[in-house]
Each structure stands twice: as structure tokens, then as C-alpha cells.
Amino acid sequence: MKEPVFHNDQHLTYQELLDYHQGNLLNSEMHRLELHLVDCALCREALEGLDHIEPAELEKYLATVRLKTKPATRLPAARTLLAAAAGLLLIGVVSWLIIYYGGHQAEDTRPLAAREDQMPQQKAAPEPAPATTDTLPATDTLPQTIPVTTPTLASAPTNENQVAASEPA
């Protein structure tokens, strides 16, 4: 197998081959095309084919081929679609976390004074529930006033006789 001398993966265009065949190129362009033709068998065969066909006939054939062929449409690769889906999922999860935890965290980080200012002020004791007569005793059996007693404190003994008298025998 023949090793390529010049590594050029680009093929020559039809116009470049035609200009080379007709001798319509500058010396530098002609040299570049000849370097390519050394390695590229496909372009060499195409150049040889120009000797066997008239340019008008070739143009007619190329026009027919262009009409029959459609431009290739390339679908995105599976890897690209997977990367896009992963990116959207990541954006969705981060957004949800910000919305869900962001609001709760903001409430917890406020100072206590700010939270107390926003709390409704407590009014007097709530009204008692209405009493039912079947669960409470009759009012005539209840005392009208409750006696108030004040607790008294015992005084500490001041001498030894009082201490001995206060101890049980």
C-alpha cells in the first residue's frame, strides 16, 4: 500500500480540477493541486475523466445529480441529547431547591425582634366557652366568696432556750 506523501484530507473541487485541466491557474495554485494529486487517487481519476467528457455535457450531468440529491440533515447525536436532558434536569432541581428551601431559610434567619414585631398582639384572656347546666352543679350550692388566707412565716429562735423548747423531746 502506498504511503501518502502529503496528508490532506480535502478533495479538490470540480472548478479547481477544470481550471487545472484548462491551464487557468497561477503557478503556486497549480503546484498546490499537483501536490494533492500525488496522494489522492480519487482526484487523479476525476482529472483523467475530464479528458473524456465535454464540459457542457458534464455540467448537464452535474445539474441532474444536484436536483436528485437532497441536502443531508443530521440529527443530533444521542450523547448531545443526553447532555441537554441532564442540563435541563440539573437546572430544574436547583430551581426547585432554591424555591423550596430558600423561602423557609429566609424566615428562620430573621432576628427574633423582627419575628415578634410581625406576630399579632395578644388580647386579654379569651372568652370562656358558654357553660351548660347539665355538667355544672347548681349555683346555690357553690360558695359565694372564697376565704383568703395569708401564709405566715415562723420566726427563727433567738436563744438556746427557745431552740431547746422547739425541739421535740
Question: What is the Cα–Cα distance from 169 to 156, expressed in whole angstroms?
Answer: 19
State which residues form the domain around 43: 14-68
User: Is residue 122 in some structural domain?
Assistant: no
78 belongs to a structural domain: no
pLDDT single digits (tens) 14-56: 888 888 888 888 999 999 989 988 988 899 998 888 888 887 8
Residue 65's pLDDT is what?
Answer: 84
Question: Taking 60 as the threshold, does the pLDDT of residue 6 lie above it?
Answer: no
Number of domains comprising the chain: 1
Residue with the larger pLDDT of the pair 117 and 31: 31
User: Does 44 fall in a domain?
Assistant: yes
Question: Higher-confidence residue: 118 or 57?
Answer: 57
Whether the pLDDT of residue 117 is over 70: the answer is no
Residue 89 lies in a domain: no
Residue 27 inside a domain? The answer is yes
Answer yes or no: is 169 within a domain: no
Of 47 and 166, more confident: 47
Q: What cell was used for 13?
A: 473541487
C-alpha cell at 10: 480535502
> What was the pLDDT predicted at 1?
44
Look up residue 97 and give its three cell numbers: 431547591
The answer to the question of residue 161 being in a domain is no
DSSP one-letter code for 73: -
| Within a domain: 57 | yes
